[in-house]
A = this chain, B = another copy of it.
Amino acid sequence: MKMSMNVGIIGYGNLGRGVELAVNAAADMELKAVFTRRDPSSLKIASENVPVVNIKEVGDWADKLDVVILCGGSATDLPVQTPEYAKLFNVVDSFDTHARIPEHFANVDAAAKDGGNCAVISVGWDPGLFSLARIYSNAVLPEGQDYTFWGRGVSQGHSDAIRRISGVKNAKQYTVPVQAALDAVRSGSNPELTTRDKHERECFVVLEEGADAAGIENEIKTMPNYFADYNTTVHFIDEAEFARDHQGMAHGGFVIRSGKTGAQKENNELIEFQLKLDSNPEFTGSVLTAYARAVVRLNKEGKAGCMTAFDIAPAYLSPLSGEDLRAHLL
């Protein structure tokens, strides 16, 4: 008989709902509770017979859960929550503020060791599966160049930046990889690419009544950091079109390592990893769930402390046995 893992979710936004779907789809996992800062009675979750619990009561669940999947944001939630809950539970998060990863890793590592728990941080697709593509391809091809392209998909940060402009009612910004740059990379020529060469930004904007379209378009296109370094297109649309065409959560991207082998480095070796996702949060939730399985197993083996995707052998992510993996996937 296979043992089922008892799973908790902290945070029930798009990502929390994606994790819920993935946990419910896993034969070896059981969702036991969803924790929220909101009034639990106000929150209706998709799973039946799973309690919604006030986050303040999470300590009561320390012996009831094998792993907790943290679904808050990287800006303010996870830097606090992951260390806090790593004292009580095995935890998994998708922390993606790149510059703060060393600090986050150290905080979570200390807390997890303190509690005798395992934590894995920064799993999702970037960081996460894209990081795996980078580490494997760099290990195999030490001589070479890495390229990461994102999109086509919505950037929340860029959409927010547009919405802060006076006269803008609503906005979505899509990050779009430039096909000519992708083609150049795939040719093996190892081009030097500027920010402008690699990605374009496409904006769909709903204006407040009487707003100055030309002025707003100029304000977007010249906005430092967010848009000034890119070729940016601005489309003004009405609310109906916005509601109809811009609610999707598709995303994706490409990690390419273009390496050289041979005595004279005369041979090109191209490794490419691609994602094309209809639902960014459901996919990210699926990655978190696979790593939740891994941390439970690693903790049962006596491991404690913080890890990333780099530190975990792939077999730990799969519900299949070593024999089955070798027979069917090797």
Contacts and interface: CB of A to CB of B under 8 A. Distances in A.
Contacts of A273: 133, 271-274
A99 to B, nearest CB: 10
Interface in A219-240: none
A275 B268 CA distance: 11
A213 interface: no
A263 B21 contact: yes
Contacts of A330: 98, 101, 122, 127, 131, 308-310
A261 interface: yes
A131 to B, nearest CB: 5
B139 A290 contact: yes
Contacts of A141: 286
A282 B261 contact: yes
A261 B286 contact: yes
A102 B311 contact: no
A311 B326 CA distance: 10
Interface residues of A, number: 70
Nearest to A327: B102
A143 to B, nearest CB: 7
A317 B136 contact: yes
A65 interface: no
Contacts of A270: 252, 274-277
A243 interface: no
Interface centre among A136, A143, A252, A262 (most CB of B within 10 A): A136
20 contacts: A25-B143, A105-B326, A122-B330, A131-B330, A133-B273, A134-B329, A135-B314, A135-B325, A261-B278, A261-B283, A261-B285, A267-B277, A272-B275, A308-B330, A309-B314, A310-B313, A310-B314, A310-B322, A310-B326, A310-B329
